[in-house]
Structure formats: C-alpha cells, structure tokens
C-alpha cells in the first residue's frame, strides 16, 4: 500500500509527465540511453531526479556512471488502486453488453416482423 497519500499522488503525477512513460518503457526494455529518448542531458537528469525523488527508480553508481532501475513496488501500489476501478468498469461493460444484446434482439425481431408483414 502507498506509504502516504502524498507519495502515491506524486508517484502518479511523476509517471504521467511527457517523456517519462517513454523513459520507463526504454528502461524496462534495457535501453535507457538518453540519446534514444531524444532528450538532452539536463532534461534527462531532471526526469531521472523526479523519478528518484518519488521512489519510482533507484540509482546505483558504477564508476563514472549511474545505473537507474525501476522499482516494482510503486507500480504494484498503483495497480492495486486501479483494480477497484477495473472491476467496476468490467461490471459496467458487462451490463452494457447485455443491454446491447437485448437491443440487437429487439431490432432483429422488429426486422423479421416487418419482413413477414411484407409477404
């Protein structure tokens, strides 16, 4: 669960910023080279700092490099939070499916009734 409500909200905001989803996707694929992100060094540093500050990534210094790795916990927290909404929307879509099938059945009955009257 989120450590604090503010941490959770900051984590969500940090993930939603322009280049950060792309940066996370590349990091997941092991291709976190900033040149591939089409960002200059100051922009890259800023995004990585925000991701570190919110706990989405961790940094491991190696010689003159810094290796950034995604932390799974914040993403699990968000997934847990989203699960409530996921279940709700699945129920709503199931209800919509039933309603649309009912309408389709009524339309088919109406069409077949009109066709039999024409004969």
* Mean pLDDT to the nearest integer, 12-27: 58
d(CA 75, CA 15): 10
pLDDT of residue 51: 86
Q: In this model, does residue 98 exceed pLDDT 90?
A: yes
Largest CA distance in the chain: 87
Q: Name the average pLDDT for the chain.
A: 77
Q: What is the pLDDT of residue 1?
A: 41
The model's pTM = 0.47
């Amino acid at each position: 669960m989120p450590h604090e409500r503010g941490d959770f909200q900051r984590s969500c905001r940090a993930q939603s910023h322009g280049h950060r989803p792309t940066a996370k996707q590349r990091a997941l694929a092991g291709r976190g080279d900033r040149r591939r992100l089409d960002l200059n060094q100051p922009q890259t540093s800023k995004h990585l700092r925000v991701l570190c500050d919110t706990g989405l990534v961790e940094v491991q210094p190696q010689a003159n490099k810094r290796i950034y790795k995604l932390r799974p916990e914040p993403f699990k927290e968000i997934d847990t939070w989203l699960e409530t909404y996921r279940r709700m929307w699945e129920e709503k879509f199931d209800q919509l499916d039933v309603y649309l099938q009912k309408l389709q059945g009524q339309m088919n009955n109406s069409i077949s009734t009109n066709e039999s009257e024409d004969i």
